């Protein structure tokens, strides 16, 4: 389907995805199901058209499995279209997401084409997970409209999106993308343009420690995975690390750091931000102040929610059955 063949789209927001492969295609599904008219583009018109058909077939499968709404494929047929070129895809778009391979030269060439053909006020995002936004922005005209918009795999089903402005990104651009992400049913968090951003910095810190435990024959990979998913990882769908620490007690964390330092004095040096809070008597939910400053009188409600959440999570896991890994 071409743009000229679509129904009346004058009231629809117009977006474009440049790079229609696995990640770009998934992002396109998210935005199109959110109600936008989304152009797909790639290295050729043929590739874009082929990926459009793949996304529709995939949607049928997701509908059959109960993962997409019953009318999802119909919605995607209305809202997705394959452009003949990058330039055609982006020319009328309000928001453009670049999702080409993680190679700086390829991204620079693509972003140069995008910014030359797009409206001067179009917001441009990159789905990079590793490359500095300050490095990526070099070929972009009007750089205040550019930022990282990092969806996670699989993008139709992972609810969080990492937003990474560079030093010159305007506040208006950030707000526009926050609203766009929210309208597509996702949650966003704004982080600084540092190596690894936040998502991968945390993810790889855990993986790095896990690989060392395997290399030192402390535990097998299978047993480490079991511990992560059945203990602290079990909490993570509901609470982030600071909420978990506040509920456990920051004085407890402070003591545990001292214990860890008997074996790893440098690796587990107590974070100053933690010791400062403890020294100030801010011990988490039990004192009404900590990292998140949850009032102490809300602790009973928080504990009740926590307990319901964990029971519901276990029920979900029981219903799903074990993952087909082994």
List the pLDDT tens digit at each of the 326 positions of the chain: 334 334 445 588 999 999 999 999 999 999 999 999 999 999 999 999 999 999 999 999 999 999 999 999 999 999 999 999 999 999 999 999 999 999 999 999 999 999 999 999 999 999 999 999 999 999 999 999 999 999 999 999 999 999 999 999 999 999 999 999 999 999 999 999 999 999 999 999 999 999 999 999 999 999 999 999 999 999 999 999 999 999 999 999 999 999 999 999 999 999 999 999 999 999 999 999 999 988 888 889 999 999 999 999 999 999 999 999 87
pLDDT on residue 294: 86
CA distance 113 to 130: 21
Hey, where are the domains in the chain?
3-190, 231-320
Among 128, 114, 38, residue whose Cα is nearest residue 83: 38
User: How many Cα atoms are found within 13 Å in the side-chain-facing hemisphere of 10?
Assistant: 1
Output the pLDDT for position 1. 35
For residue 265, count CB atoms less than 10 angstroms from its CB and return exposed for 0-12, middle for 13-18, buried for 19 or more.
exposed
- Residue 269 DSSP one-character state: P
Rg for the chain (alpha carbons), in Å? Answer: 23
Please state which CATH class domain 3-190 belongs to: alpha beta
Can you give the pTM of this predicted structure?
0.92
Rounded CA gap, 203 and 34, in Å?
28
Taking CA atoms, 290 is separated from 215, 258, 260, 286, 295, in Å, by 36, 19, 22, 9, 10
Q: State how far Cα 310 lies from the chain centre.
A: 23
As assigned by CATH, the class of the 231-320 domain is mainly alpha
Are the CB atoms for 24 and 97 separated by under 8 Å? Answer: yes
- Tell me whether strands 160-165 and 146-151 are parallel, antiparallel or unpaired: antiparallel
Specify whether the CB–CB gap between 147 and 66 falls below 8 A: no
């Amino acid at each position: 389907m071409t743009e000229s063949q679509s129904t009346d789209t004058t009231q629809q927001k117009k977006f474009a995805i440049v790079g229609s492969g696995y990640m770009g295609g998934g992002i396109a599904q998210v935005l199109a199901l959110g109600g936008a008219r989304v152009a797909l583009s790639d290295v050729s018109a043929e590739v874009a058209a082929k990926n459009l058909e793949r996304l529709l077939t995939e949607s049928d499968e997701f509908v059959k499995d109960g993962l997409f709404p019953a009318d999802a494929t119909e919605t995607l047929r209305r809202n997705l279209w394959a452009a003949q070129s990058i330039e055609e895809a982006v020319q009328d778009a309000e928001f453009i997401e670049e999702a080409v391979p993680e190679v700086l030269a390829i991204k620079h060439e693509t972003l140069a084409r995008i910014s030359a053909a797009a409206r001067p006020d179009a917001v441009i995002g990159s789905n990079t997970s590793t490359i500095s936004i300050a490095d990526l922005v070099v070929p972009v005209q009007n750089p205040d409209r550019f930022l990282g918009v990092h969806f996670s795999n699989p993008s139709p089903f992972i609810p969080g999106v990492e937003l990474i402005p560079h030093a010159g990104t305007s506040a208006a651009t950030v707000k526009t993308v926050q609203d766009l992400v929210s309208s597509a049913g996702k949650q966003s968090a704004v982080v600084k343009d540092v190596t690894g951003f936040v998502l991968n910095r945390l993810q790889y810190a855990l993986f790095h420690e896990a690989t060392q435990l395997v290399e030192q024959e402390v535990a097998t990979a299978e047993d480490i995975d079991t511990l992560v998913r059945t203990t602290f990882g079990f909490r993570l769908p509901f609470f982030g690390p600071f909420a978990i620490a506040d509920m456990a007690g920051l004085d407890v964390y402070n003591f545990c750091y001292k214990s860890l330092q008997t074996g790893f004095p440098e690796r587990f040096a107590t974070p100053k931000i933690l010791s400062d809070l403890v020294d100030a008597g801010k011990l988490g939910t039990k004192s009404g102040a900590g990292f998140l400053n949850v009032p102490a009188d809300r602790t009973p409600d928080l504990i009740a929610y926590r307990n319901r959440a964990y029971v519901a999570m276990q029920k979900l896991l029981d219903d799903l059955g074990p993952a087909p890994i082994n």
